[in-house]
Amino acid sequence: LFSSIAGTLGTAGQANYAAGNTFLDALAEHRRALGLPATSLGWGLWAGDGGMGGTLGGADLARIGRSGIAALSADEALALLDTALQVDRPVLFPARVDVAALRARAADEGVREAVPHVLRGLVRVPAAAATAAAAGQNGRGTPVAERLIGLSEPDQHRLLLDFVRGQAATVLGHAGPDGVDPDRGLLDVGFDSLTAVEFRNRLNTATGLRLPTTLVFDHPSPNAIALLLRDELAPDADTATRPALDQIDRLETLLSGIPAGEADTAKIAERLQALLWKWSDTGTAPGDDTDQDTLDTATDDELFDALDRELGQ
């Protein structure tokens, strides 16, 4: 039986085709269980003008290549067929696995889950990529967001536009972002439903955002998408305080790992309370030279409020 590896990998956009081929695989398993002969071959992509591969465009072939399945030449496929006839198994998958492409995909998107499930044992996610992916889950601390800090609005837009064009070039199979017109709709330059989803997923991973599946329909051009990303990643009111908030998030994570009752926890609490005093409405911390003047002029209510803050009540 000639099946397809699409049924095992869950190839995007081929749900009905994958289901039919999975049925063939199951039929072979069933016949073997009954003692009857059957072998299902779940073929990978064949190169050349004939067959399904001949109908695919450059973007389709590039997308399949990034999934880790390289095209088989006719000679390679026939050699695998000869080998399969010598193997007593109900289901086999004659395909050319590109491990380098799998590793590149895992490293690029920062998560092993970017690799088809049955092939994940072949790759490891580099530590730096995994850390970046974890930092991007709430949209803060990601490389893209951090690079926006301190930039003017035009420079932020320029950076994000280059980023969007680069991601679009990757899914279209272009050598670089120069081939992507910033003002032309992506659907007009070769995007289809599959590349649109892959493009959206790449943006989500790199930014930590949860962009809609209708992204390229609602924001057709790279310019429009860059404007959306700037609004999401660098709202004006938050740009100046984002680094401080990032550090507070990291500090909270660090403190949560300290066991209760440690000897130095009291010192940490004192430091945090002193720091909080500096950001209180009085603008002063314990021990400042202005404390005495403040106490001399404070009302009774202000004195009680100060005591409550000092004692942590």
State the residue for tokens 């909270």. Answer: 252
Of residues 97 and 143, the one with the higher pLDDT is: 97
Closest CA to 114 of 150, 157, 67, 45: 67
Statement: residue 55 has pLDDT above 90 = no
Question: Encoding tokens for residue 95?
Answer: 């395909």
pLDDT digit string, tens, across residues 85-100: 999 999 999 999 998 8
Domain 136-239: give its CATH code.
1.10.1200.10
| pTM score | 0.53
Average pLDDT, the chain: 80
Cα(151)–Cα(175) distance, integer angstroms = 28
pLDDT digit string, tens, across residues 163-217: 999 999 988 878 889 989 999 999 998 888 888 888 998 898 888 889 998 999 9
- Domain residue spans in the chain? 2-122, 136-239, 264-311
> What is the chain's Cα-based Rg?
29
Closest CA to 230 of 170, 152, 138, 168: 152
The pLDDT of residue 76 is 94
Provide the 10 A C-beta neighbour count for residue 153: 12
Closest CA to 46 of 87, 82, 1, 79: 79
**DSSP class of residue 3?**
E
Let me know the angle formed at the C-alpha of 106 by 220 and 8, rounded to the nearest 5 degrees.
Answer: 90
The pLDDT of residue 136 is 47
To the question of domain 2-122 being in CATH 3.40.720.10, the answer is no
Q: What is the mean pLDDT of residues 281-304?
A: 56
Question: Encoding tokens for residue 195?
Answer: 């590349």
pLDDT level of residue 105 (50, 70, 90 thresholds): confident
DSSP per position, 221-285: SHHHHHHHHHHHH--HHHHTTHHHHHHHHHHHHHHHTSPTT-TTHHHHHHHHHHHHHHTSTT---
pLDDT level of residue 33 (50, 70, 90 thresholds): very high
Provide the 10 A C-beta neighbour count for residue 131: 13
Q: Which stretch of 207-211, 230-234, 293-297 has the lowest confidence by average pLDDT?
A: 293-297
Name the burial class of residue 298, with classes exposed (0-12), middle (13-18) and buried (19+) by CB atoms within 10 angstroms of its CB. middle
Question: Encoding tokens for residue 138?
Answer: 């709430």
Of residues 14 and 75, the one with the higher pLDDT is: 75
